[in-house]
Amino acid sequence: MVQATPFLLVLFLALGAHGLAVKKCSLTGRWVNDLGSNMTITSVNANGVFAGSYYTAVSAHSTATNESPPQGSHQKGPNQKNQPTFGFTVNWSFSDSITVFTGQCFVDDDGKEVLKTMWLLRSRVENIKNDWKATRVGTNVFTRLQSQE
């Protein structure tokens, strides 16, 4: 037992140091996705609620795209570790549509933060008969805009 103590101490310190070295993924900042859309998350409050701006590079309905506000939150409970799950809604300012995104903030093997998301884009249709074609689904991967690093 006496001989094992220094070994256990070294192991404990090594594991502790490793834990400290794990990079946290933070949603705050400027992001670009695989479609070329830009999102800035400006404020995240103590409850994990955030807001910012979103410029989509594409649209299903309009050629003109303006800034639209994303509103969402990320996990902030006792279970939340370094790579939080999150969700946000974009209420498009130039169309009748709404998109909801859900995803997770990861740190990849190169230490780069990446947001892996899935979305549902709900378009407005004239009547209930057209409801079947009103929702699109897809994925987006966001990486931090280089200029900010």
List of residues contacting ligand BTN (CB under 6 A): 33, 35, 37, 56, 58-61, 92, 95, 97, 99, 119, 121, 138, 140
If you search the block for the tokens 């249709």, which residue do you land on?
125
Instruction: Work out how close the CB of 79 gets to ligand BTN at its nearest, in angstroms, rounded to a whole number.
Output: 28
Q: Is the Cβ–Cβ distance between 121 and 97 less than 8 Å?
A: yes
Host H or E run for residue 4: helix 4-21
Q: Is the Cβ–Cβ distance between 110 and 86 less than 8 Å?
A: no
Alpha-carbon distance 122 to 92, whole Å?
A: 11
Give 45 or 139: the residue with its C-beta nearer to ligand BTN: 139
Give 106 or 119: the residue with its C-beta nearer to ligand BTN: 119
Instruction: Work out how close the CB of 46 gets to ligand BTN at its nearest, in angstroms, rounded to a whole number.
Output: 28
Instruction: Work out how close the CB of 65 gets to ligand BTN at its nearest, in angstroms, rounded to a whole number.
Output: 7
